[in-house]
Amino acid sequence: MQISFEQTVRHARLLLVGLALAAGACKYDTVVTQSVPTDYRNRHPILIAERPHSIDLLIGTGRGGLTAVQRAQVAAFGSAWRREGNGVFQVKVPSGTRNETAARATVREITSVLNSVGVPPKAIGVQPYRPEQVFDVAPIRLSFPIMRAEVVNCGQWPDDLGPTSDPKYWANEPYSNFGCAAQRNLAAMVADPADLLQPRAETPPSAARRQTVMDKYRQGTDTATTVTQTGGRISNVGQQ
């Protein structure tokens, strides 16, 4: 059976049309990956988290009370709860140790010191705890939750700092750990972590300074503050 040239062309066209339809029916899934941020504030963000703040008071088996230094520590810790506390003031008393009786007798003195610095009795919770390891004596643990500003994942160096064949090096992007130390220092120095989220309210103006300015304005004098310059003299140490 012979096939003419026209039939061959017709068959070729049908084959091309079929291939085009098959290719159009194919579906490609595109996966988009997010790049690592280059801004150190986004790469190493400062996080606000709630962490326990605690101190330990070691009570001897035969004492049953606080020393003068321990009373000062409890008072300072109670004042810190008033400023920064974010929950119940926990007093954990050791159980199953030799100083268990002395520690229980000291709880009343601890709560008395806390009440004297402004910690209300309803905010103090007393509960026993058993140490993980067996000790002759275990401390009384005072703790309360506090808000902390912190930065995690510092010290990560996934890439080489020197010239390499990695395309990341030629992208001229900052190092992975760049800015992490500065962020962690800022988080450690901030007095109130809430200051990183929003500004504080303005304090009221000085009424005395406002009255002084208004009096000078009525008198037609300069309202600016007068600054007195004090002279200084260089020391003669080291001069011949």
* pLDDT per position as a tens digit, 2-29: 555 566 656 667 666 666 666 555 544 4
Q: What is the pLDDT of residue 103?
A: 93
Check: CB of residue 92 under 8 Å from CB of residue 141: yes
> Which residues, given as ranges, of the chain have pLDDT below 50?
1, 27-34
Q: Give the class (CATH, top level) of 49-148.
A: alpha beta
In Å, what is the CA distance from 25 to each residue of 18, 22, 28, 29, 176?
11, 5, 10, 13, 43
Check: CB of residue 60 under 8 Å from CB of residue 105: no
Q: What is the pLDDT of residue 111?
A: 96
Q: What is the pLDDT of residue 58?
A: 92
pTM of this structure: 0.60
Q: What is the pLDDT of residue 76?
A: 96
Sequence spans of domains, the chain: 40-44+152-189, 49-148
